[in-house]
Structure 1
Amino acid sequence: MTTDHSRFRSGTEYRDNAAWRLASHWQQRAQEARPAGHLRGVKLALAWVLGCTMLLVATLLGVLFSLVGLLMLPLVRRRMKKRMEQARADHAEDIGPGWQKSQQQNPHQAQATDILEGQYEVKS
């Protein structure tokens, strides 16, 4: 950011401005708050190493959990298949041994019971 010095006649006149003094005071305080030279570099390097280590660990954990999830898919699929078969078996009706004989004797009657929900047959 540049300052417009055209309003001031001499080079030192703008330094007498209250805002300029306040800014230079803040600048001095900020320089005093900085740690010593080589210690600052060590802290920065440690911060980078810590940050990179955390990123690597997070990436490895993400890959590990993804692989575990992919390896579990077949097991979960098998378990769901068994559960669906059990549910079908629980809801199935026992048709009995005489079902085949009644089908052969009257095939139109069996056709009427094969109609699914949503399928309609118009009788005239």
Structure 2
Amino acid sequence: MNDQDRQRNAAWQAAHQWKERARQARPRQGMSGPRLVLTWLMFGVLMIVGTILGLFFLLVGWAMLPFLRHRMKKRMEQMRAQQAEDIGGSYYQHGSQSRSSGGHLEEHEVLEGEYREKK
């Protein structure tokens, strides 16, 4: 392809114009010294602030763990009591006494429910 064909080709002309505009838009020199130092200082300060915030939230999370554990323990106790009530009456809620027909423990009572032997 010779120079005349290249100058007549619209795609070639558009690419050449784009290249010229990119060259003009590019800054002539790099960042100035004080501006570069200021940018690095701001970056360093942001990194330090981010690290401090991360450590703070980590410590807050660790401090909240005992409270969360206590709350989960209470919830598990409630779930176990509810499950025991669903399965075999209120055996777990009232200690070792259950509300059977006579108000006392029968001879063959187990945790899952009440069973009687056939004779």
TM-score (norm 2): 0.49
Structure with max Cα Rg: 1
- TM-score normalised per structure 1: 0.48
